[in-house]
């Protein structure tokens, strides 16, 4: 259990800090690599959808049916799945559109805006700051999902952490780009982007402190069902629309299929 705890916290930290990777990438380009974004976002969606429906949902159902019987177990699995969707949708609903991490930005879209006498652009700075806060709130339940998944099944936790890390990269760009163009300060932009990702390990810590005392087969089943719902919602609401927005020559669907294929192969080989 101790080894699983260390791995679970480590994977959650890795996934969260991927926002910093996005921040660094933004500093070395004047234009967004739309092909890269389209493929990687589609890939991440493919991983999330496949692992959610083929592995996580099934594990939740087995745990709940074994503990509560076919009738109640099935109902609770489905209820947990849609409760996860409602949770992440509710979080998104209260985040302003311009600060929503689902509203991805391009580097070249950030070079405009009024400046102050010090050269700062307050509108862009405000956008970047609120985006960082929004991503922090948005990533909190993802931290819980990664942590609990890794605790129950380390190999599954690795797959989820990688998928979340991939989709955190453009979120890091969404924070660092407006802050950098607003202030000209790379360190400030990176720091905000970096801090926004720390809510993932904070979510893991919250799960450890408040959920661990109650963890049993029923609790794991409910959490897994909710995790599946959260990941499917993120894929359908965030990743696929963004991938299609940047799409060229069906790259997003190729990325989606590639993500599913990689996830299927890893499940066959390692789980």
Q: What is the mean predicted confidence (pLDDT) over 12-20?
A: 88
Say what the pLDDT of residue 61 is.
Answer: 95
Model confidence at 259: pLDDT above 50: yes
Which pairs from 29-34 meet CB under 8 Å and 24+ separation?
Answer: 29/107, 30/107, 30/108, 31/106, 31/107, 31/108, 32/106, 32/107, 32/108, 32/173, 32/246, 34/106, 34/246, 34/248
Considering only CA atoms, which of 131, 208, 201 is closest in space to residue 165?
A: 201
Tokens, residue 74:
């099935």
Look up the pTM and report it: 0.73
Model confidence at 37: pLDDT above 80: no
Say what the pLDDT of residue 113 is.
Answer: 45
User: Can you list the alpha helix ranges (DSSP code H) found in 99-213?
Assistant: 122-152, 154-183, 186-197, 199-206
Say what the pLDDT of residue 216 is.
Answer: 84
Considering only CA atoms, which of 130, 153, 110, 116 is closest in space to residue 11?
A: 153
Q: What is the CA radius of gyration of the chain?
A: 19
Say what the pLDDT of residue 118 is.
Answer: 46
Q: What is the mean predicted confidence (pLDDT) over 44-62?
A: 89
Say what the pLDDT of residue 53 is.
Answer: 92
For residue 271, what pLDDT band results from cuts at 50, 70 and 90?
A: low
């Amino acid at each position: 259990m101790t080894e699983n705890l260390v791995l679970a916290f480590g994977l959650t930290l890795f996934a969260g800090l991927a926002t910093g990777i996005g921040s660094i990438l933004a500093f070395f380009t004047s234009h967004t690599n739309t092909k890269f974004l389209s493929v990687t976002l589609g890939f991440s969606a493919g991983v999330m959808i496949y692992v959610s429906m083929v592995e996580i949902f099934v594990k939740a159902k087995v745990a709940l049916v074994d503990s509560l019987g076919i009738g109640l177990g099935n109902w609770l699995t489905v209820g947990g799945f849609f409760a996860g969707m409602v949770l992440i949708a509710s979080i998104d609903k209260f985040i302003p559109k311009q600060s929503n991490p689902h509203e991805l930005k391009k580097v070249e879209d950030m070079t405009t805006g009024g400046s102050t006498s010090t050269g700062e652009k307050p509108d862009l700075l405000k956008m970047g700051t609120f985006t960082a806060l929004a991503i922090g709130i948005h990533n909190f339940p993802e931290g819980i999902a990664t942590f609990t998944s890794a605790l129950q099944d380390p190999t599954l936790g690795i797959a989820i952490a990688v998928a979340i890390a991939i989709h955190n990269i453009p979120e890091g760009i969404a924070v660092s780009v407006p802050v950098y163009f607003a202030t000209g300060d790379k360190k400030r932009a990176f720091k905000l982007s970096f801090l926004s990702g720390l809510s993932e390990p904070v979510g893991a810590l919250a799960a450890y402190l408040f959920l661990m005392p109650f963890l049993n087969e029923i609790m794991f089943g409910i959490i897994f069902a909710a995790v599946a719902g959260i990941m499917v919602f993120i894929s359908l609401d965030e990743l696929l629309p963004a991938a299609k927005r940047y799409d060229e020559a069906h790259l997003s669907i190729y990325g989606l299929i590639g993500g599913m294929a990689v996830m299927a192969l890893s499940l066959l080989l390692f789980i």
